[in-house]
Amino acid sequence: MNVRTNRITHLLALASSFILTAGFITSCSNSPASSSNNTVNAPAVSVPVLITDAPSDQLVAFSLTIDSIVLNGSKGSATVLSTPTTIEICHLNGIQAPLVTANIAQDTYTSAVITFSSPEITYISSAGAAITVTPTLATTSYTYTFPMPGPFTISSSSSGALLFDLIASKSVNIVGTTVTVTPTFTVTGVPAASAVPPPGQNGTGMQQMATVVSVSGTSLTLEPGSGPNFTVTTNSSTLLQGFSALSALTAGELVQVDFILLPGPCPLSVSNACIAPPPVLLATRIQLAQPTAVGPPINLLTGPVLSVSSGGFKMALMQGLGVAASAAATTSIVTVTTNSSTVYAIAPQFVSLSALPFTPTFTSANLSPGQTVGVVASVVSPVPNWTATATNVTLMPQTLGGTVTAISTVGTWTAYTLSLPSGSAFATLSGASAVTVYTNANTAPPPPTPFSTAPPIAVNSVVRFNGLVFSTGGGAFAMVAGCSPDGPPGI
């Protein structure tokens, strides 16, 4: 399952020493860096820190509290994260999300130490049952040593991000009913994008769902389901869905944001060297879940459907936003009630769904176990038995991985037959052994990495795709891919 992913991750790790110093991170000047970059008293650099996940196919929800992150360098240590932050891992499969923005001293760093606690897991047994457990935590810290060709340096001209990748497939061991967690990470640098993606692209590979905190001019401050607030900027190209102007957003409303990392402006130069501010998170798309003005404060629950019955379904909770939803622990099982007034919809970020060889529909009639959905609910009841009454059910993007067994062309689309691995939660829940994945020019490349030379996807490639999964009848499923975390640009 992870052969291709691991190869790319290894290449990224090998390049980490260069990412925050030279060619892979955009500097605002071609002049040599100032010598102050190497002085003890050099000012700290503000660095966005992102988090993602490499998958474990059997899991449907995995939460972990990251207690601290510390970098060890030639001049001492630098704290990246000091406030314990609980994250849900499975929704990050193939997606990069903000974790924190850290002020990191200019230095050469050789290792990162991550400490953690309180794992919770929901997995799908071979019998198809969703099992929620508090697993054994085998260790409370992990040290990642930057591999050859050596350490990386943060300097005043750095304008990229740090990416922490929790390798779930290596972190969770399930033997019978015994679940042990040994969190394993890789740490790499992420260069800023060289350009804003073209209109009509189905995603960016960087995404977050959050609650609006405030709006100031072209900037939007957001509170994620866990972790500190973060700010995105907008421009005239930002696609607004469900509202017409940034100023129309009010505190407490729930949004989904696609973003990219761009170099910040350069307001100050010293000795012909740019003193760069932190890169910006530019929102390419902001979707309003539902205005709070239409009724009681709303809640947004996202996660995979476990089973479907008359009048509702059960889902595993990955993320919860809103007054009541925020009290629900990730890895909760939620019973969702639907009725004749419940609205079914497709995530509007997918603006390109035309000319497909099937009709992409999502209704109560073709809602299927294994699909990931977002539920808007004005009423959510508390533990021990979480229930929600859905006003809206939206088909949401999800990540599936497997082995490509066939490739064909259908009009403007490329169709990949993706054979799912044994033990895949989606395969067990849906009953499908394969999914047909469609990509076209609007399928986004992976987020920027030092190496964009991954070989073209071919038969026998082991890859992941992130997109909308539709039930097309007769037990068959088709995905319209928004991006391929392991695929080359322009697939």
State CA 378 to chain mean position distance.
Answer: 26
pLDDT band at 37 (very low <50, low <70, confident <90, very high): very low
Distance CA 235, CA 248 (A): 15
Residue labelled with tokens 């990392």: 261
Q: If DSSP codes are grouped into helix, strand and coil, which group holds residue 454? A: coil
Distance CA 489, CA 94 (A): 15
pLDDT band at 303 (very low <50, low <70, confident <90, very high): very high
Give the H or E element holding residue 429: helix 425-430
Distance CA 22, CA 19 (A): 7
Return the CATH class of domain 294-395.
mainly beta
CB distance 370 to 430 below 8 Å: yes
Encoding tokens for residue 62?
A: 């995995």
Q: What's the average model confidence in pLDDT over 358-387?
A: 89
Instruction: Please give the pLDDT value at position 272.
Output: 44
State CA 255 to chain mean position distance.
Answer: 15
Q: Is the pLDDT of residue 404 over 60?
A: yes
Report the topology of domain 398-483: OB fold (Dihydrolipoamide Acetyltransferase, E2P) (2.40.50)
Asked whether the bond before 149 is cis by omega within 30 degrees of 0, the reply is: yes
Q: What's the average model confidence in pLDDT over 39-58?
A: 79
Q: If DSSP codes are grouped into helix, strand and coil, which group holds residue 430? A: helix
Q: What's the average model confidence in pLDDT over 64-92?
A: 93
CA 124 to each of CA 119, 421, 454: distance values in angstroms, whole numbers, following the listed order:
17, 14, 32
**Residues 223-269 pLDDT 10s:** 987 778 899 999 998 989 889 999 999 898 889 899 988 887 654 44
Distance CA 275, CA 270 (A): 7
Q: What's the average model confidence in pLDDT over 274-290?
A: 78
Distance CA 264, CA 281 (A): 9
How large a percentage of the chain has pLDDT more than 70?
Answer: 80
Q: What's the average model confidence in pLDDT over 82-109?
A: 90
Note the pTM of the prediction, 2 decimals.
0.84
Instruction: Please give the pLDDT value at position 483.
Output: 83
Instruction: Please give the pLDDT value at position 296.
Output: 59
Q: Is the pLDDT of residue 108 over 80?
A: yes
The more confidently predicted of residues 355 and 451 is 355
The more confidently predicted of residues 406 and 383 is 406
Least confident range from 171-175, 209-213, 333-337, 378-382: namely 378-382
Instruction: Please give the pLDDT value at position 212.
Output: 93
CB distance 260 to 196 below 8 Å: yes
How large a percentage of the chain has pLDDT more than 90?
Answer: 51
Q: Is the pLDDT of residue 149 over 60?
A: no
Q: What's the average model confidence in pLDDT over 5-16?
A: 36
Least confident range from 18-22, 370-374, 468-472: namely 18-22
Least confident range from 234-238, 259-263, 418-422, 463-467: namely 259-263
Distance CA 93, CA 236 (A): 30
CA 314 to each of CA 17, 187, 399: distance values in angstroms, whole numbers, following the listed order:
46, 35, 20
pLDDT band at 2 (very low <50, low <70, confident <90, very high): very low
SS3 content of the chain, % helix, strand, coil (to 5): 10, 50, 40
pLDDT band at 112 (very low <50, low <70, confident <90, very high): very high
Distance CA 411, CA 472 (A): 19
Report the topology of domain 207-291: OB fold (Dihydrolipoamide Acetyltransferase, E2P) (2.40.50)
Instruction: Please give the pLDDT value at position 57.
Output: 86
Instruction: Please give the pLDDT value at position 245.
Output: 94
Instruction: Please give the pLDDT value at position 34.
Output: 29
**Residues 320-365 pLDDT 10s:** 887 666 655 566 899 999 999 999 999 887 777 889 999 999 999 9
Query: Where exactly are the structural domains of the chain?
Result: 3-190, 207-291, 294-395, 398-483
3-state secondary structure the chain: CCHHHHHHHHHHHHCHHHHCCCCCCCCCCCCCCCHHHHCCCCCCEEEEEEEEEECCCCEEEEEEEEEEEEEEECCEEEEEECCCEEEECHHHECCEEEEEEEEECCEEEEEEEEEEEEEEEEEECCCCCEEEECCEECCCEEEEECCCCCCEEECCCCCCEEEEEEEHHHHEEEECCEEEECCCEEEEEECCCCCCCCCCCCCCCEEEEEEEEEEECCEEEEEECCCCCEEEECCCCCEEECCCCHHHCCCCCEEEEEEEEECCCCCEEECCEEECCCCEEEEEEEEECCCHHHCCCCEEEEEEEEEEECCEEEEECCEEEECCHHHCCCCCEEEEECCCCCEEEECCCCCCCCCCCCCCCCCCCCCCCCCEEEEEEEEEECCCCEEEEEEEEEECCEEEEEEEEEEEEECCEEEEEEECCCCCHHHHHHCCCEEEEEECCCCECCCCCCCCCCCCCCCCCEEEEEEEEEEEECCEEEEEEEECCCCCCCC
Instruction: Please give the pLDDT value at position 44.
Output: 85
Instruction: Please give the pLDDT value at position 15.
Output: 36
Q: What's the average model confidence in pLDDT over 392-399?
A: 93
Q: Is the pLDDT of residue 443 over 70?
A: yes
Q: Residue 121 burial by CB count (10 A; 0-12/13-18/19+): exposed, middle or buried? A: buried
Mean pLDDT of the chain: 82
pLDDT band at 1 (very low <50, low <70, confident <90, very high): very low
Half-sphere exposure in the Cβ direction for 96 (13 Å, CA): 27
Q: Phi/psi at 206 (nearest 5 deg)?
A: -120, 125
